[in-house]
Structure 1
Amino acid sequence: MRVLLPAARLAILLLSLLWLVRVPMAAAATWDFATPYPETDIRSRSAQAFAAAVGSASDGRLTLVLFANGSLVAAPQIPAALRDNAVPIALLELTQLADEAPALAVSSLPLLAASYDDSLRLWNAARPVVQRLLAARGLMVLYALPATPAALFSKGAVNTLADLQRLPLATTDSWLAALIDASGGRSVATEPGNLAAAIGGGQAKGMLVAPDVAIGANAWTLVNNAYDVKASFPLSIVAVNQSAFYALDEDSQRALLNAAVDAQNDAWSSSVDARNAQVDGLEAHRLIVQPSPLPLQEGLRQAARTVIDSWRATAGADGAAILAAFGWPAN
């Protein structure tokens, strides 16, 4: 009988054990997901669906836990928290990053995009610049989604710019305030919760806000006219901290990116559906959202050019590149 030396026995044992060894799976990760919007907001609902898709695609290796309504990080602090990796992923308004890079305000510019189709074209034109500017700040954009565009709500009929100029208008958006002022009107800056007080107290005679904001203010008790001016399509983005992303295993990274593609594909149609439902909600209270009269819309477009040109002067080469890719006139 052949006798094996101890060293040979050990070698055979080690070789046999290699067949039994399995590479351990990467440890599961749980990410807190910050959003400033309420759970019922279309953007938070999109983020929740995205989180579920990531969990499924990663086979549970990556779990995103959504904290809505600023419950994890207050809206103004989200950009800094994301850069510092205090939160690895967040949903935020793109324009929140514009203090450091003015080009990132592009989607909030009034009437640069006149429709949902225009808004998607604008995002496709802007995305390479946005990706580069965010990467320089240690961030990565996964997908974008548009807010429902603002309509004009007023106590009196508004058919022309002259009519608008007679009505102080409340708004919650600084770019829409700039549009009102450039139109020769007077903007009244306010928070969503104070719109009813501003109009009821006489400081404003109408408002330029998204339909969901108007519903929250019970607009049908405040005004009797509504016009579908579609003043802007501000984008929100889901972004991640780059260091946190690259610390994930490759399967989890792939799950995030693939789910982001699906979320991006659904974003615009979801916003259209949400806005249609909001308009239906207003009309259920007999506040009919009418097409914007042509003289009014043309006057607003001319005023918007002033706002866009002012932004262009601050946004530099990045802003010019976006406008050129979008097909906006150079002058």
Structure 2
Amino acid sequence: MPITRRAALAGACMLPGLRPAFAQAARWQAATGFAEGNYHTRNLRSFIDAVAAETQGAVQVQLHANGSLMPQPQIKRGVQTGQAQIGEILLAAYGNEDPFFEADAVPGLVRNLEDARRLANVQAPFIEARLARQGLMLLYLAPWPQVAITANQNLTDPAQLRGLRIRSYSPISSRLASLLGAQPTLIVAPEVPQAFAAGLIQAQLTTAPVAADTAVWDYSRFFIKAAIATSKNAVFVNRRAFESLPEAQRNAVLAAATAAGERGWRLAAEAEAEAEARMAARGVQVVEAPAVVVEAIRAAGHTMIEDWATRAGADGRRMLDQYRAAQG
């Protein structure tokens, strides 16, 4: 587990008046596909600022938001190859690479932030092990609010989903759309408004902050809350770059990551409420999905949970057992 800031600095503060010495300077790049104003990006920037402060400016990280350094699908590979030292990704978007990256996005497995936190606690060691094999080190996980649906019509019957051209954001969300009879198209968030304008999609699976960040009021009249899933972002660092830092700098990075991980859970709840209010103020109707729609989604989810466990193998079953035990 990441050590505390007190422990990180303890060795350098043993003598009165002695400040920690950060002899080695590092100039890193951080890449994220999310907008500058998104709470995940703001959290990442706060983490970066904390690293600079705790290392007395010896570790400086330049943040590139909204896919400006590289598109989101390329970020993980970009950090592996050293094009950037820190990256942030939506874990579920990498589900084709490894089923553990999409566990939290399986419909019906996680229904609220409390469930999401329990799952994160048991999921993290499996994620860490997989990233380590690829030359990466997990810094922190941070959740999204629940996935919902935006559309120009209120979806009150599962039959309305059949044939609907719907934006998905990951392989597993595409699978859900297909099970519901919709026609999924995988589209990254910045391209959603154009996809609606061009008629490529008629609805989308998304969260309240992403919907608000992409001015959902310009292309959808309804934001339909259906308790679909609660996904997470992962922020990670190139292990070789991290290990090249002196110990005091590594400890400072870990302490800042611990704080960012904790902050992310609070920001998710705040961002959901703020985004829903912003949408409502611009004329979007924020509504709860009727029970019949929620039940159709959960029925698909039961199938997908078993499918996921089969693909994830023994580790998957072990993680599910740990998660269900944590639920009590």
Using the size of structure 1 for normalisation, the TM-score is: 0.82
**In 2: Cα distance, 1:73 partner to 1:66 partner:** 12
**In 2: Cα distance, 1:129 partner to 1:122 partner:** 11
Residue from 47, 52, 67 that aligns with 1:50: 47
Structure 1 partner of 2:323: 326
Structure 2 partner of 1:276: 273
| 1:227 Cα offset (Å) | 1.7
- Unmatched segments (≥5 aa) in structure 1: 1-22
CA contact (8 A) 1:168 1:206 kept: yes
| 1:86 Cα offset (Å) | 3.4
- Identity percentage over the alignment? 26
Secondary structure in 2 aligned to 1:327? Answer: helix
Residue from 258, 263, 271 that aligns with 2:255: 258
* CA distance 1:75–1:153, shift in 2 (3 Å): closer
Give per-residue Cα distances to partners, 1:269-303, cap 9 Å, x unaligned: 11111111111111102322122222211221111
Does residue 214 in structure 1 map to residue 217 in structure 2? Answer: no
* CA distance 1:322–1:193, shift in 2 (3 Å): same
Aligned Cα RMSD in Å?
A: 2.6
Structure 2 partner of 1:104: 101
Structure 2 partner of 1:16: none
* CA distance 1:138–1:306, shift in 2 (3 Å): same
**In 1: Cα distance, 2:203 partner to 2:84 partner:** 39
Pick which of 183-192 and 318-327 moved more.
Answer: 183-192
Amino acid at match of 1:266: R
* CA distance 1:37–1:170, shift in 2 (3 Å): closer
Secondary structure in 2 aligned to 1:66? Answer: strand
Amino acid at match of 1:159: T
Matches within 5 A, 1:147-166: 147-165=144-162
CA contact (8 A) 1:83 1:138 kept: yes
**In 2: Cα distance, 1:241 partner to 1:198 partner:** 34
**In 1: Cα distance, 2:94 partner to 2:71 partner:** 15
Matches within 5 A, 1:58-73: 58-73=55-70
Amino acid at match of 1:120: R
Does residue 31 in structure 1 map to residue 20 in structure 2? Answer: no
| 1:260 Cα offset (Å) | 0.9
Matches within 5 A, 1:299-314: 299-314=296-311
Pick which of 255-264 and 285-294 moved more.
Answer: 285-294
Pick which of 27-36 and 208-217 moved more.
Answer: 208-217
Residue from 169, 174, 181 that aligns with 2:171: 174
* CA distance 1:166–1:33, shift in 2 (3 Å): closer
Pick which of 163-172 and 231-240 moved more.
Answer: 163-172
Does residue 78 in structure 1 map to residue 75 in structure 2? Answer: yes
* CA distance 1:66–1:223, shift in 2 (3 Å): closer
Matches within 5 A, 1:231-242: 231-242=228-239
Structure 2 partner of 1:229: 226
Does residue 125 in structure 1 map to residue 114 in structure 2? Answer: no
Q: Of the two, which has the highest radius of gyration?
A: 1
CA contact (8 A) 2:93 2:170 kept: no
Does residue 285 in structure 1 map to residue 286 in structure 2? Answer: no
* CA distance 1:84–1:162, shift in 2 (3 Å): same
Structure 1 partner of 2:17: none
CA contact (8 A) 1:182 1:306 kept: no
* CA distance 1:132–1:189, shift in 2 (3 Å): closer
RCO higher in structure (CA 8 A, sep ≥6): 2
Using the size of structure 2 for normalisation, the TM-score is: 0.83
Q: Report the count of equivalent residues.
A: 306
